Amino acid sequence: MKQQFENYTAEDFKVWKTLFERQAKNLKDKSCKEYLDCLNELKPVLNSESIPRFEELNRVLTNQTGWTIEVVPGLIPVADFFELLSKKKFCSSTWLRSMKQLDYLEEPDMFHDIFGHIPLFMNKAYGDFAQKMGQIGMRFKDSEEVLIELQRIYWFTIEFGLLKGNKPMIYGAGIMSSFGETNFVYESGVEIIPFTIEEVVKTYFCNSEIQTKYFLLDSFEDLYQSLDRYAEDLAGL
């Protein structure tokens, strides 16, 4: 599949600009520095002025880190998703929400996939972690138990992870691309606990409700090392 750029409407461009500008402003004091640095590095090909062209984004990503965007029609099977990660390919839709859907979607759209996820793939430690997760998924693609654990790791890191700073700083794309959740993280009643992979793999999540529990990570290097230990524990299976 390919991005059909010529099919985007005037409303699509307005939606993209509205979402990008609103969230870029909202994240200035909430996002981790790593994300903001990567977003700034991608500014020539990822900005509020236009819906990004995937071929331009891919050119920069590939030259910098070897990652590429893989266009998919929507949610795909878990095993297929991990296979793509293992090959340094990240899935993205090409459809965009409407103005009436700015704050709620039932499944991820292009703004979530591109604005939320793609910038941090310019960070080597983060990208190495995502690829290793995919490699583990491929090794254990026939183990329902391991695939469930990997989905939980993915959910509480790549989608909804927080990083230590002067206050908990956002790096998870599910928060990064959501205006409401970006602010909700700092509300009273939200549970933020130290990240341990042993705890994460035991923690259930619901993808249709706003999160109330988040894991706080020390660094992306720690994230990779924890996955390394997890893989070693699986070696005996």
Over the stretch 58-115, which tens digit does the pLDDT of each residue have? 999 999 999 999 999 877 889 999 999 999 999 999 999 999 888 877 788 999 999 9
Which phi and psi angles does 121 have, rounded to 5°?
Answer: -75, -5
Q: Which domain holds residue 31?
A: 5-234
Which phi and psi angles does 17 have, rounded to 5°?
Answer: -60, -45
State how far the alpha carbon of 100 is from the alpha carbons of 20, 25, 96, in Å.
Answer: 16, 21, 11
Distance CA 122, CA 88 (A): 12
Distance CA 19, CA 182 (A): 13
Over the stretch 137-195, which tens digit does the pLDDT of each residue have? 999 999 999 999 999 999 999 999 999 999 999 999 999 999 999 999 988 789 999 99
Amino acid at 3: Q
How high is the pLDDT of residue 102? 87
State how far the alpha carbon of 138 is from the alpha carbons of 127, 132, 141, 147, in Å.
Answer: 17, 10, 5, 9
3-state secondary structure of 165: coil
Distance CA 107, CA 207 (A): 9
How high is the pLDDT of residue 135? 96
Residue 17: CATH number of its domain = 1.10.800.10
Pairing of strands 162-163, 191-194: unpaired
How high is the pLDDT of residue 48? 97
How high is the pLDDT of residue 148? 95
Q: At what angle do helices 124-139 and 78-86 cross, to 10 degrees?
A: 130
pLDDT of 236 higher than 70: no
Instruction: Note the pTM of the prediction, 2 decimals.
Output: 0.94
Tell me if 137 sits within 8 A of 144, measured CB to CB: no
Distance CA 118, CA 187 (A): 27
Tell me if 133 sits within 8 A of 149, measured CB to CB: no
How high is the pLDDT of residue 199? 95
As for how many domains the chain has, the answer is: 1
Over the stretch 7-56, which tens digit does the pLDDT of each residue have? 999 999 999 999 999 999 999 999 999 999 999 999 999 999 999 999 99
pLDDT of 237 higher than 60: no
- Spatial CB neighbours of 234, under 8 Å, sequence gap ≥ 6: 136, 139, 140, 146
Pairing of strands 89-92, 162-163: unpaired
